[in-house]
Structure 1
């Protein structure tokens, strides 16, 4: 009988953990207020596109959600004034992910043109929530 209780307890804990992870996936979080440090070279280069806000997507080679994120963010940036999207594959440069404090892929980090981090999204972002969070940093007219 003890084995049945162990299995049931394990299933309950796993269900709660799964629900928590699902709730956090794609949620827009405010930027961490860490001390200012120099951005990694690939990120600095990505910010030179002239956009007010650049979405830097941290990906890895075999990440399926990364492809979904690319398919969402690319068109979003194309139809939104002042927004750019850059994907960085960190498979062979883990030091970039480490310097940014990225522990999972995809992670999307929004930067102002001066390198200030605005927000982060772990997982596949939800476009309406992302646009709403970026609205104060973009020109008045934003595509929906």
Structure 2
């Protein structure tokens, strides 16, 4: 009987953990200093500029979606497809993929705990939003709308 209870408890815990992780995947978080409601917030970005590898890839006059990936990250391919599609179909948005496999310092500086993580920066290096996991196109476009002119 004890073994059955342990098994049931383990299964329930596994299902709950999977559900929570699934709900968090692709969720968009914005810095709290932006004052936007309806989205989960992250702590305000430091006033310091982003690390040099990020500054080097920012596109002047555009919002740059900086995707942080690792070599063996399967969801990173799906995120890359979504982000590329949004960037190609929207004026004022660029997409860059940075491999952080051998750059743990960059991941630490950007407070990245998992891949894929995408951070949207304006052309001055200000963090606009952050996504852990694979974003949904409609949700991403809605979140970017205040920062760019969206076209279909």
TM-score category of the 2 structures, normalised to the smaller one:
over 0.9
Matched, 1:143 2:151: yes
Matched, 1:46 2:54: no
Could you report, residue by residue, the CA deviation over 1:65-109 in whole angstroms, capped at 9, with x for unpaired residues? 111111111121011010000000001111111100000000000
The CA distance in 2 between the partners of 1:127 and 1:113, in whole Å, is: 22
- The residue that corresponds to 1:82 in the other structure is 92
State the TM-score, normalizing by the size of structure 2: 0.88
What is the alpha-carbon root mean square deviation over aligned residues? 1.1
Give unmatched runs, 5+ long, in structure 2. 32-41
Q: Which residue of 1 aligns with 2:69?
A: 59
Instruction: Say if 2:115 is the partner of 1:105.
Output: yes
Following the alignment from structure 1 to structure 2, what is the Cα–Cα distance between the partners of residues 68 and 51?
26
* Distance across 2 between alignment mates of 1:94 and 1:57: 15
| Unaligned runs of at least 5 residues, structure 1 | none
Equivalent position SS for 1:29: strand
1:137 aligned counterpart, secondary structure:
coil
2:140 paired with 1:114: no
CA distance in 1, matches of 2:98, 2:46: 23
Structure 1 residue ranges, 4+ long, deviating more than 4 angstroms after superposition: none
Residue among 48, 59, 63 paired with 1:37: 48
